[in-house]
Amino acid sequence: MTFKAAAVQFAVVAGLMVSGGSVLAQEKPLQLVGFGDSLMAGYQLPETDALPAQLQVRLRARGIDAVVFNAGVSGDTSAAGLSRVDWSVPDGTDGVVLELGANDALRGIAPEQTEKNLEEIIVRLRDRDIPVLLVGVVVPPNMGAAYAARFNAIYARLAEKYQLPLYPFILDGVVLQPGLQLEDGMHPNGKGVAVMADRMLPVVEQFSRTIMDKAK
């Protein structure tokens, strides 16, 4: 998707979501971007089943007039995310849910490089005054204990350094649950994404309300 197309889609979705009696009175919808890989994009799922869409529904049910734009790209590594963050996150974005690193781990990329890429993404967004909610990844056991220890520590370290809210594990409650996964045994199905959205909601809701409070 080009920058122009992404910006147009973002604006159109935002315009469509302004109405709704159950949401709080806001001057404009809260503009969030789910930025990540296939776990954010909704691999092989309808757009309505993807994580951003499911979070949007839940936020609105909690009284937050939010649009959660899907900027997930299947297969993205942290390096690929870094290469597109400037145009994938449009001007006017109020906050980013950042989820990257799973493909780095699957490829055995050095954790130090992944951390460097994620940090640069965070810095670029911070320089644009865009708050970040960091979503972590836990390395599969087959990558070895030493690699896992180095990799899994990335997210808490970055969250502490930049004082970011952190959701520690994107697949919490879904991993190793066949009924919540696609046939590949790696990606969540629609029910699995629903579990992810339910578990993430308290953190995403608090993140959203903090942004709204600061804007008052």
Q: How far apart are CA 211 and CA 216, in angstroms?
A: 9
As given in the structure block, the two tokens for residue 45 are 């799922």
pLDDT at residue 18 in the model: 36
pLDDT at residue 4 in the model: 39
pLDDT at residue 214 in the model: 92
Q: How far apart are CA 179 and CA 157, in angstroms?
A: 33
Burial label, 9 (beta-carbon count in 10 A; 0-12, 13-18, 19+): middle
Render pLDDT for 18-48 as a digit per residue (tens, 0 to 9).
Answer: 334 344 455 799 999 999 999 999 999 999 9
Q: How far apart are CA 26 and CA 139, in angstroms?
A: 40
pLDDT at residue 27 in the model: 75
As given in the structure block, the two tokens for residue 50 are 């993807």
pLDDT at residue 20 in the model: 40
As given in the structure block, the two tokens for residue 204 are 């995403």
Render pLDDT for 113-141 as a digit per residue (tens, 0 to 9).
Answer: 999 999 999 999 999 999 999 999 999 88
pLDDT at residue 9 in the model: 45
Listed as ranges, residues in the chain with pLDDT below 50 are 1-24
Sheet of 66-72: strands edge to edge?
A: 66-72, 30-36, 95-99, 132-135, 166-167
Catalytic residues: 38, 184, 187
The 10 Å Cβ neighbour count of residue 95 is 24
Per CATH, the number for 27-215 is 3.40.50.1110
Instruction: Give the CA distances from residue 30 to residues 53, 57, 85, 93, in Å, rounded to whole numbers and listed in that order.
Output: 14, 13, 19, 8
